[in-house]
Amino acid sequence: MEHQETKFTFVYNEIKQSILEGQIPPGGSLLSSRMYCEQFHVSRYTMNRVFDVLREEGLIEIKPRLAPVAAAVKDKWDLSETAVDILKQKDSILQLYRTFAMILPSLLVFSLQGCDVKIMPHYKQAMKDFRLGYSAGRWRSLSKLIYDILKIGGNSLFSELYSAFGLYNKFAFFTEDSACFSQLLLKGAVSGWGDIMDILKSGEPAVMYGQLFNIYQELSDFIECTLEGLSRKVPVGQVHKDMPFFWNPMRGQEYCYTRIAMDLNKKISLKEYSAGMYLPYAKQLAAQYDVSLATVRKALLELEQWGVVKTLNGKGTIVTEPDDEKIYERFLGSGFPEKALRYLHALQLMVLIIRPAALACAKHFAKEELEELEKALPSSETAYLTDVFEAILKHTTLQPFYVILAETNHLLEGGYYFVYFLSGEQIFSQINKKVLFAIRQLKDGDADLFADSIADCYRCILGCMKKNMAEKHPFSNGAKIRIPEKYA
């Protein structure tokens, strides 16, 4: 199993990078320890340790009864060295902007439905800054407003993604230290940037999506032009440094044994281990996952508590038919509603990001590959969508998009809710028909309909999940989950 960073290291790195990348400007206030505790799901003790280390490194200043303030570390930087470092990472940076240009418009439109942007905490400041015109540093109020929208929209994964984007996008450098970018942004203001506040206030989702899509595409084009212009002025040779995007929505919530339980449950739900079959012995699983026997036993106990398996003394662990009574008892247990809501949020996110992913990679599918996928359509007892998702993932060339897709799918892989709340064969049959239709559309050259159909698969799953959770269990939060529409 992969090494997992501690909660302290995770929070420390996130805040430190926010300061170094200019997300928190010199003299700008950090959040209070209480707010960070809520955001990162850590204790006050952990936050105080993080603040102490950041203060010792000269990154923040702390005064009694006030939120910490970012120190003026930017003066220590050599701007030419910063430019060289950014140019070494230019491919990774451009991939990041191209990825978020594809997914942010739909996340914003979805989050704004039913919300009044005028009541957002940072709306007034953002509006004031836009009336004053473009200036270095004024981008922060808009960035904070976008974060407000994504956070208040009801799906915490959206704002977490946007925060990760802010840690890697080097936007402070482009807006405050690059004259080339500033000139491009000012020239492009007439094509949308100056109207973004009005766009966020408009109420027509399809129109808003189209306008935001154009703006973010234009932004990524500006970044590309800036990097190309910078490379002509600042020679860096052939040295390139990857800046791989990282996003782990399970940080602080996932343990080795839960990951093993989720993986085994995925294999059970996909009939790799069907009812009546024995799982590998604990020693074999320990070797397979490179963990201790104690960790494996804890994972097996987790599955047994769900009523998915049963351990027989002297024989091993056998897969059983789901036990509705145990499932119901488990549902009432501590933490389950939060996990269920997280799962539904992951489905929401997948509906919104899988369409642009499928559309972007459609051209990479070979005819022979599509024919193999079509022939491989299995019985209704298993999920054909899994095979097609893996194919889409394989053809996703943007590394940040690959990570986002993979991590979102990881949230869904537990399979707990898919198996326990639905009639498996019925839902598999519906989805398989939709996937087969999608493959045939791509074979006929219709990439848009292929992408729409794959998104419809996840939209269908989300609708069924929401309905079954509400009917079978007292899961009131599930009723509030909205199903994303098609915007493009």
What is d(CA 64, CA 49) in angstroms, rounded to the nearest whole number? 16
* CA separation for the pair 482, 462 (Å, rounded): 9
Domain map (residue ranges) of the chain: 7-74, 78-233, 256-321, 329-480
Is a pLDDT exceeding 90 seen at residue 450? yes
Query: Which pTM does this prediction carry?
Result: 0.82
pLDDT of amino acid 380: 45
**Side chain identity at 410, as an amino acid letter?**
H
Residue 293: C-alpha distances to residues 273, 311, 375 (Å):
21, 15, 40
Q: How far apart are CA 114 and CA 117, in angstroms?
A: 10
Relative orientation angle of helices 205-233 and 79-88, to the nearest 10 degrees: 110
pLDDT at 426: 65
Its sign, for the CA torsion 250, 253, 256, 258, is negative
Tell me what the pLDDT averaged over the chain comes to. 82
71-78 contacts, C-beta under 8 A, 24 or more apart: 71/19, 71/26, 72/26, 72/27, 73/19, 73/20, 73/26, 74/22, 74/26, 75/26
Q: What percentage of the chain carries pLDDT values higher than 90? A: 27
Least confident of 43-57, 98-112, 316-330, 438-452: 316-330
Provide the pLDDT for residue 36: 85
- What is the tens place of the pLDDT at every residue in 142-183? 888 999 999 888 898 999 899 889 888 888 888 877 777 777
* Segment (H or E) for 387: helix 384-394
CB burial readout 414-446, b (16+ within 10 A) else e: bbbbbbbbbebeebbeebbebbbebbebbeeee
The label of the residue with tokens 């003790």 reads: 45
Task: Tell me what pLDDT residue 325 has.
Answer: 67
Query: In angstroms, how far is CA 400 from the centroid of its own chain?
Result: 10
The predicted structure's pLDDT at residue 103: 96
- The CATH number given to 256-321 is 1.10.10.10
Per-residue pLDDT, 475: 67
Mean pLDDT, residues 187-211 = 73
3-state secondary structure of 453: helix
Which contiguous run of DSSP H or E holds residue 309?
strand 309-312
| pLDDT at 220 exceeding the cut of 60 | yes
Quick: pLDDT tens for 223-268: 999 988 888 877 766 666 677 898 888 765 556 787 788 788 878 8
pLDDT at 346 over 90: yes
Q: How far, in Å, CA of 93 to CA of 144, rounded?
A: 21
Pick the CATH number of 7-74 from 3.40.50.720, 2.60.40.10, 2.40.50.140, 1.10.10.10: 1.10.10.10
The structure tokens listed for 78 are: 């050599």
Dmax (CA) of the chain: 76
User: Is the model's pLDDT at 449 over the cut of 60?
Assistant: yes
Q: Is the pLDDT of residue 341 over 70?
A: yes
**pLDDT digit string, tens, across residues 387-420:** 899 999 999 999 999 999 999 998 887 555 555 5
Q: How confident is the model at residue 425 (pLDDT cuts 50, 70, 90)?
A: low
**Crossing angle of the two packed helices 7-20 and 44-56, in degrees rounded to 10:** 40
**7-74 with 256-321: one CATH topology?**
yes
pLDDT, residue 15, reads 87
Structure tokens at 241: 């440094």
* Measured CA distances, 228 to 165, 203, 235, 261, 462 (Å): 21, 37, 11, 47, 43
In tens, the pLDDT along 58-103 reads: 888 988 878 889 887 544 445 567 788 888 888 999 999 999 999 9
> pLDDT digits over 348-368, tens only?
999 999 999 999 999 999 999
Tally of CB atoms within 10 A around 352: 24
Q: Euclidean distance between the first and final Cα of the chain, in Å? A: 40
Cα distance between residue 274 and residue 295, in whole Å: 23
Which residues have C-beta within 8 Å of that of residue 62, sequence separation ≥ 6?
51, 55, 68, 69
Q: At which residue do the structure tokens 């407000």 appear?
A: 148
Q: Does 2 score more than 50 pLDDT?
A: no
Rounded CA-CA distance 310/300 in Å is 9
